[in-house]
Amino acid sequence: MEEWKTVECNSRYEISNRGRLRSNFGRVKLLQGTLGDGYRKTRMRCGDRIKNVRFHKLMLNAFVGDCPESFESHHIDGDRSNNILENLEYVPKLKHESIKWFGKARVLPKNQGEGNGRSKLTVCDVLVMRGLENLSLSRLAKIFTVSPSHVSSILHRKKWAHVPASVSI
């Protein structure tokens, strides 16, 4: 059975345990939201600011409570648009990072990282490169067949910034 709870930051909205959002401005209206990076989100007033809010975060906050410090929200099945309550949980940030990279839950935009057809590196290469940062830029460039300036950009997280600095399993 679908259950509705008021959104904490704006009492004119309600979120359901089935991942649906509705507004009560005079008449009830279901909001579809947009899919940005696979997440269902919308803009709403929260306090004195208008913010982009993701449905799954609103729902976890309403049904489970505030996110504990150093935890993140997680879609168990890896489908960012599947916002039913049974598919959502809070997990420690480090565990979430390892799930995203080594579990089934990581989905990158098509042109980012390995999804870019011109990429010479893989996520694994970048993680290894960052682990070998004590070597010179020119040595790393020879090992991975890229330019020293590209290695520097990766080590300083100007490129491949979506890859975590380190992953612990």
pTM above 0.85, yes or no: no
**CA–CA dist 143, 52 (Å, integer):** 42
pLDDT beyond 70 at 20 = yes
The per-residue pLDDT for range 100-137, each reduced to its tens digit, is 665 554 455 556 676 677 788 888 888 888 888 889 99
Q: Residues 80, 87: contact at Cβ < 8 Å?
A: no
Q: Residues 34, 40: contact at Cβ < 8 Å?
A: yes
- Amino acid sitting at position 121: L
CA distances from 103 to 79, 130, 131 (A): 12, 21, 21
Q: Is 110 left (phi over 0), alpha (psi -120 to 50) or beta?
A: alpha
The per-residue pLDDT for range 69-81, each reduced to its tens digit, is 888 898 888 888 8
- Phi and psi for 125 in degrees, rounded to 5? -60, -45
CA dihedral 98, 151, 155, 110 (to 10 degrees): -40
